[in-house]
Amino acid sequence: MDILLSICIGIGLSAACGFRIFVPPLVMSIAAMYGHLPLSSDFDWIGTYPALIAFAIATAVEIGAYYIPWIDNILDAVSTPTAIAVGTLIAKALLPDSDPLVHWTVAVFAGGGSAGIVQAFTGITRLSSTALTGGIGNALVSTIEAGSSITLSILAIVVPVFAAVLVAVLLVFILRIVVRKGWKSLLPLNESQPSSLEQ
């Protein structure tokens, strides 16, 4: 498989981990078992029936747990480092066997980075939903996240370049929101505090 195509698939699947951790490995397992997704030699186990069953159970438990009020916020705290780790491993699993240093570097930054940014954003979104609705609106957030993870995972396999571009747009959108919110939160502080010359 072309290395650029592998990177695109890895970015798409890794970013999908930011929405739901176990959905992308489940989609990977299905695709690998049917011969649609070549894996590096160290990760051939992903395309086996035991892995498929394990990922399916983990996916069902994870998706269900996010519909339990307040538990979803606790899961977000645990999910961020886990999403980064799984996103890194997914990206590494798709890169051909050659230079380990280059591959792990790409996997950490492209895979783990995209998974971590998306997961952090979903966590902030859920906290905002909890604050505004007392947790009632979190079910809708969870549904959107699960749907996004499934959709992005499938797109990463079927149209990897489009999925990678979509992830790039999503990351830019997230970073713009973070920067904008950061500046807005600083402005009232600066305006409310008198300068040292005025005191």
pTM (predicted TM-score) = 0.83
Summarize pLDDT for 165-197 with one digit per residue, the tens.
999 999 998 888 877 765 454 344 444 444 444
Query: Is position 198 within any domain?
Result: no
Query: Is position 89 within any domain?
Result: yes
Q: CA 13, 15, 16, 21: dihedral to nearest 10 degrees?
A: 100
Query: Is position 197 within any domain?
Result: no
Tokens standing for 41? 């030699």
pLDDT of residue 133: 85
Query: Is position 7 within any domain?
Result: yes
Query: Is position 29 within any domain?
Result: yes
Kindly report the average pLDDT of the chain as a whole number. Answer: 86
Which one-letter DSSP state was computed for residue 162? H
Least confident of 30-39, 69-78, 117-126, 143-152: 69-78
pLDDT of residue 83: 93
3-state helix, strand, coil in the chain (%, to 5): 80, 0, 20
Angle at which helix 23-33 crosses helix 71-94, to 10 degrees, equals 30
Sort residue 46 into left (φ over 0), alpha (ψ -120 to 50) or beta: alpha
% of residues, the chain, pLDDT over 90: 55
pLDDT of residue 189: 41
Domain count, the chain: 1
Query: Is position 116 within any domain?
Result: yes
- Is the pLDDT confidence value at 13 over 60? yes
State how far the Cα of 28 lies from the Cα of 21, in Å rounded to an integer.
12
State how far the Cα of 198 lies from the Cα of 35, in Å rounded to an integer.
71
State how far the Cα of 114 lies from the Cα of 15, in Å rounded to an integer.
5
Summarize pLDDT for 114-123 with one digit per residue, the tens.
999 999 889 8
Segment 143-168 shows an average pLDDT of 96
Summarize pLDDT for 55-89 with one digit per residue, the tens.
999 999 999 999 987 788 788 888 889 999 999 99
The model's confidence at residue 98, banded by pLDDT at 50, 70 and 90, is low
pLDDT of residue 141: 92
Query: Is position 21 within any domain?
Result: yes
Range of the domain at 7: 3-192
Query: Is position 199 within any domain?
Result: no
| Per-position DSSP letters for 30-65, written without gaps between them | HHHHTTSS---GGGGGGGSHHHHHHHHHHHHHHHHH
